[in-house]
Amino acid sequence: MNKSNGGRLVLNHSTHLDGLIPVLERLVQCRGIQTVTPGVIGRVKGHTPKLKIRVSVPIRGGFKAIARSGKTVQEVFVLTTLSQTELEETLATVLHS
């Protein structure tokens, strides 16, 4: 996890998944991450006991990720120069640090 001053976290919403913001704050400090924007929150039927973030689909300039905790899901948009595999590895690192 290399430090850089380039990343920024956009907080447009008043509500976020429990524990998501500290993880995203660590993510924006990583090499290759430009902007991270949490998006829409929704409810799902399945239950995920611990916070998980998985890369979903590519978007222009980066990827959409899905954060899940309990029965709640939240979109996270990540603008990055990293490949999908590199982003998945970076997410795994910041989730467990």
The answer to whether residue 3 is domain-embedded is: no
User: pTM for this structure?
Assistant: 0.90
- Cβ distance 93 to 1 under 8 Å? yes
Band of the pLDDT at 97, cuts 50, 70, 90?
confident
The answer to whether residue 2 is domain-embedded is: no
User: Which amino acid, one-letter code, is at 8?
Assistant: R
The answer to whether residue 78 is domain-embedded is: yes
Query: Structurally, how many domains does the chain consist of?
Result: 1
- Helix (H, G, I), strand (E, B), or coil: what is residue 79? strand
Band of the pLDDT at 4, cuts 50, 70, 90?
very low
Cα–Cα distances (Å) from 6 to 69, 86, 97, in that order, read: 28, 17, 20
Domain hosting 60: range is: 8-95
- For 59-89, what is each residue's pLDDT tens digit? 999 999 999 999 999 999 999 999 999 999 9
The answer to whether residue 50 is domain-embedded is: yes
Residue 2 pLDDT > 70: no
